[in-house]
Structure 1
């Protein structure tokens, strides 16, 4: 049996999944539109339903016992505040939403390194700071981190690609001072 890896992408229009072999050939793929799960593309429940559905469709056409790993990607810069159990606490701020709080933007401008992706009204850091005063908040997650957390039960991890927009320095591989 040849091992498979699955890649899942959740975007503004839907969810896509692909299963690949080690030689990069495709063993299967599936896609579902997000509007199949409601008219609100911002709804985390719609994201999760889309992911579960696309994964079910993909797995129906491949040998699920061959799957060794799953990777998740989402709209970069879409952030969701959650409690310790991963339950959403507010409507997410999507990748293209702007934070119009001048104090937040000024604080970022003063402290983030000049080359950081944390600058700007649509940055992940600005969005995270916008959510910081919510009661019961345990984390502010990127869309892909929340989806991955639903698989693993862990809502306290991210990857360098997602963390980049909240100020993580990928060259130094650490958070700046």
Structure 2
């Protein structure tokens, strides 16, 4: 008997093999989303971001639930089907047999790839440090007046450290 939805209680998959006996509706959802993600439109980009976040969220960024409002209902339902299935069974796209398709999707949308979280945090710390120094310099300027700038034009270059 074919159902329009699937029940996790009826499915006896293990977490180690999430794709084994995956319901057809899951493969249909993945196929529908892959097809849409190949099209360079706004919806295609939203779908690509969703799929690539499943593939590797550290490199491609996470998935915002608000994306579901940025795509048509059929695409949102396909996303929810995958999210529901993966939340119960785990696995990545290659566990479901879509390694080639996702590798192609990565190449197509490489410009969307985000920086790693560590690189992003490093940049944010640097920005915070610069902002702190600038704020401190403004406060010091109020107390001591503006810094005097030394005019180095016409000065000879410094001697190397090892010179006699």
* TM bracket (short chain): under 0.3
Please state which structure has a larger fraction of its residues in helix.
2
Please state which structure has a larger fraction of its residues in strand.
1
Q: Which has the higher contact order (CA 8 A, sep 6+)?
A: 2
What is the TM-score of this pair, normalised by structure 1? 0.25
What is the TM-score of this pair, normalised by structure 2? 0.26
